[in-house]
Amino acid sequence: MGVTFSQLFPPEATLTEANLPSQHGKVFLITGGASGIGHELANILYHAGGKVYIAARSESNALQSIEKIKKTPLSPPSSSTPGELHYLHLTLEDLSTIKSTVQVFHAKEQKLHVLFNNAGVSLPPPGSVSKQNHELQLAVNCLGPYLLTQLLLPSLQAGVRASHDKPAAVRVVWTSSQMVDLGAIKGGLNPATLDNPGTDQQKNYTVTKVGNWFLASQLDRALRHLGILSVSQNPGNLKTNILRHAPAYYSRIFGPLFYKAKMGAYTELWAGLSQDLTIEAGGGYILPWGRLHPAPRKDLLDALKSVEEGGTGQAEAFTDWCEKQVAPFK
C-alpha cells in the first residue's frame, strides 16, 4: 500500500531543468515526442543543448511542437545554449515502416545516447488492430518499440564508443504504468493469450505495460556487458492525450489525481540521465518522479528470471514472442 500511495503522491523530483547539466554533444530520440510527456521532455533536453529527434506519425503536429518549444523560454531558464530539434516520421502500429524510419535516422546520425520509448496508446475501441492485425495496444506499446530498439542497436553502440565506454552513459527507457503493480495477473501475463487477446481493453493495456518491463529486463540481459542501461518507468498519473479513448468518467473520477505532463517528463529525465542510476540498475523499474521501485511484486520479479534461475521465464517467453512477430521486418 505504501508503494501505491507514493506513486499517487510522489516525492519531489530531484532532476529537473533547474539542475540538469549541459547535454551538448548528445543525441536523443523520443517516440511520441509531439505531445504530452514527450513534448515536455523534448523541451527540457533541447534547452539543455541536446540534439533531439521527435519521432511521431504526424509531421504537422511534430513541427508545431518544435515551433512551440523554440518560441517558449524555459522556466527556470537554462544556462546552456539551446540544441537542435528534428522531426522523424514513425508509425509504430505498422511494423513494415519502422526499418525505413531507422534508415532515415542512420543517414543523419551515427550515434544515439538515449532512446526514450515514450509513445503509447491506451484503451482504444475494442477490436482495434494494427496493420499486421495485432491488438493495437500490443503493437504500439510493445512490438513497434521492440523492433525500433533492435534496429537502433548500432547507433546505441556507437553512442557507447562516443561516451568513452562509460557504463550507463547510453540508455534505453521503456514506458510502463502503475497498472503493473495494481492490475497485472500473477506472473504478469500469459504468453499463451498473446495471439488471441480478449476484448477487455484495460486488461490488454496492462499486458502491454508488463510487457514493457519484461522487454527492458531482457534488453538489459543482452546489452549490460556493452555498458548500455535499459530500464522501465512509470511516468506517473498525468493529464495527457493517452486517455483520449477512455470513457468520460475516467477524467471525472481520477482527474484530481492527475498531474501535469511535465512531471512525467521528470520521471523519464531521471531514468535517462540521472547519475544516481548505475549499470547495476539495469532491468529495474522506476517510479515517479525519479526513483527505483523499492519493493516490486515477487511474482513479477520471478517472471523476470529464467527457469534455470528459479523463475518462471515469462519475460523471456514474451520477448521471444515479440521477436517472432517482428523478425520479418528487420
Catalytic residue (one of 51, 111, 209, 262): 209
- In the structure grid, which three cell numbers stand for residue 309, read together? 534461475
Catalytic residue (one of 87, 205, 259, 266): 205
Is the Cα torsion angle 17, 87, 139, 308 positive or negative in sign? negative
Determine contact, residues 326/150, Cβ cutoff 8 Å.
Answer: yes
**Residue 266 annotated to the active site:** no
The amino acid sitting at 11 is P
Q: What is the 3-state secondary structure (H, E, C) of 83-141?
A: CEEEEEECCCCCHHHHHHHHHHHHHHCCCCCEEEECCCCCCCCCCCECCCCCEHHHHHH
Helices (H), 261-297: 261-273
Q: CA-CA distance, 117 to 176, in Å (whole number)?
A: 10
Beta bridge partners of 172: 115, 230
**Residue linked to cell 545516447:** 113
**Residue 209 annotated to the active site:** yes
Active-site residues, by number, are 205, 209
